[in-house]
Amino acid sequence: MSWAWLDSLRETIGQPQFTLLFAPAAKFLVAIVVILLIIAYLVFVERRLLGFLQVRLGPNRVGPWGLLQPIADILKLLIKEDTIPNRAVRWAYLLAPCLVVAPAFVIFSVVPFGPSPNAPGAPRWYVTDLDAAIIFVVALASLGIYGIILGGWSSNNKFSLLGGLRSAAQMVSYEVPQGLALVGPLMLAGSMSLVGIVESQAQRGLWFAVPQIVAFFIYFVAGVAETNRNPFDLPEAESELVAGFHTEYSGVRFALFFLGEYANMIVISAIAVTVFLGGWLRPFPSIEALAFLDLIPGAVWFFLKVFAFLFLFIWFRGTFPRFRFDQLMALGWKWLIPLALANLMVTGLLVVLLNGRT
């Protein structure tokens, strides 16, 4: 009857090396599991919500109110045959889905889910607080494109190829306005760390969506395009390209693409919430009369806002037709990028003029 192992564990946890190495890994794991769960139920919620929008029921057979549907879906996808076309470029074909999923998940390591008081030993609601978090996010987000291009090209299917090409063009051109839109809040905050940006919003008592409404709008539109969601779902446009880049994929690998898309939706929402909507802050953080809202923990606020965004994604899908390829490019290059640049200039000018206060 020895509890020594518990003591030694306690001791190990106390070690600085542990905090440095294992705590982030553990946190990351928890984050991934939570995100995976959210994704599974996001798909379910999407189907039910679309059902609601489209005067039908949606899945309601598996478990109470269909709540076990995601599990059934995952099981189905796991046990399905993983087909590989004979003339596919094997290594690229196998690699592509992983390339889509991995970056999307890694981004969660820099997202602060809640407030992290400076007191030593207090729980921190992020895996790591990177100094250059925004650059990290943008860089990883663009890595996901390779997965889609590779998947489309290596399937050796013309529809997949067209889908891959479409997504290459689309994601490359929408990354520019997306990145530019992020620079505005960055200039206001004077920090590239996501935690820093939220803290700066807390100091100011103002969500950056207010002064940076244009950037916010651009970021969200570009984000919808980045995630290949309706009305920008051209790469997988079902009625045009069968299923676009993932036409040939089945089973687990298809599930990975699926996972990647939904993880990206959450990433875009999380970054938008962090940068523009004050992350874990309550609405109107400067108004004292609303202080009772602080009773709700920051993480809850954060996820509430993320879910509001996810709802928007689903709502779009139920409402809009699809853009055409050239119209999409025109929208990106002729509207969003000039608008983002103009916004940047105005922001820069204001920052310089009001230098003392910013």
User: Which residue of 98, 238, 304, 308 would you call a contact of other proteins, by CB under 8 A?
Assistant: 238
Give the Å distances, CA to CA, from 223 to 188, 250, 301: 21, 26, 21
Give residue 197's Cα distance to chain centre: 17
Q: Which helix (H) or strand (E) holds 7?
A: helix 4-14
Secondary structure (3-state) at 192: coil
96 binds other proteins per the rule CB under 8 A: no
**Stretches 96-104, 291-299, 305-313, 323-331: which one binds other proteins (CB under 8 A)?**
323-331
237 binding other proteins? (CB under 8 A): yes
Q: Rule CB under 8 A: is residue 156 a binding residue for other proteins?
A: yes
Only segment of 4-12, 19-27, 85-93, 123-131 that touches other proteins (CB under 8 A): 85-93
Judged by CB under 8 A, the residue of 230, 264, 269, 343 near other proteins is 230
Q: Which residues contact 305 (CB under 8 A, 6 or more apart)?
A: 269, 273, 277
CA distance 104 to 260: 6
User: Are 169 and 145 a contacting pair, CB within 8 Å?
Assistant: no
Site size toward other proteins, by CB under 8 A:
39
Q: Is 81 in the site for other proteins (CB under 8 A)?
A: no
∠ CA(17), CA(23), CA(24), 5° rounding? 110
Site mask, other proteins, residues 99-128, x = CB under 8 A? ------------------------------
88 lies in the site for other proteins, by CB under 8 A:
yes
Distance CA 216, CA 201 (A): 14
Q: Which CB atom, from 18 or from 325, has the smaller least distance to other proteins?
A: 325
Using CB under 8 A, list all residues that contact other proteins: 50, 53-56, 86-91, 154, 156, 158-159, 162, 165-166, 230-231, 233-234, 237-242, 317-327
